[in-house]
Amino acid sequence: MSTELPPQIQHQLAQLQQIQQQAQAIFGQRTQVEMMLRETERALEELEKLDKNAVIYKAIGELLIKSEKSATQVELEEKKETLELRLKTLEKQEKRIQKRFQELQEQLRPLLRKEGEKKGS
């Protein structure tokens, strides 16, 4: 009596594992984008409180560069828009992967049950 699973089941288990890894990667990316979006929104809120002639510095790598409020505000608004779009894309990818994961699980359950019954008899 062999304890090895049939190739079809092994393949589907490998797919399930791969999908799980993809889901974890997407979750990590989504978390990072959400954090960047919150930081951008906070920066915009603080920028709104400043006088239009206020001296503003923005970080570029290791440097702080003097910038105009209006130009910085435009940059941050564009960054916010890009991050929101990226977040929506990641959420859609996450839903697709979750759906595929559930489908594979549902396909595997009866196959694994059959294998268990074969080995039990």
pLDDT at 50 over 60: yes
pLDDT top residue among 89 and 2: 89
**Is residue 94 a part of any domain in this protein?**
yes
Q: By residue range, what is the domain housing residue 108?
A: 36-120
Average of per-residue pLDDT across 84-92: 98
- Structure confidence at residue 121 as a pLDDT band (50, 70, 90): low
How many distinct structural domains can be found in the chain? 1
- pLDDT confidence bin for 3, thresholds 50/70/90: low
Assigned token pair, 66: 């003097």
In contact, 86 and 33? CB cutoff 8 Å: yes
Q: Is residue 41 part of a domain?
A: yes
CATH number, domain of 85, equals 1.10.287.370
Confirm whether 80 is domain-assigned.
yes
Confidence at residue 10, expressed as pLDDT on a 0 to 100 scale: 87
Say if residue 91's pLDDT is above 60: yes
Confirm whether 45 is domain-assigned. yes
Output the pTM of the full model: 0.81
Does residue 5 form part of some domain?
A: no
**Cα-trace Rg, the chain:** 25
In this predicted structure, the answer to whether residue 80 has a pLDDT above a threshold of 70 is: yes
Which spans in the chain are helix H? Answer: 7-49, 69-120
Residue 17 included in any domain: no
CA distance 106 to 109: 5
Structural domain contains residue 46: yes
Whether 69 is in a domain gets the answer: yes
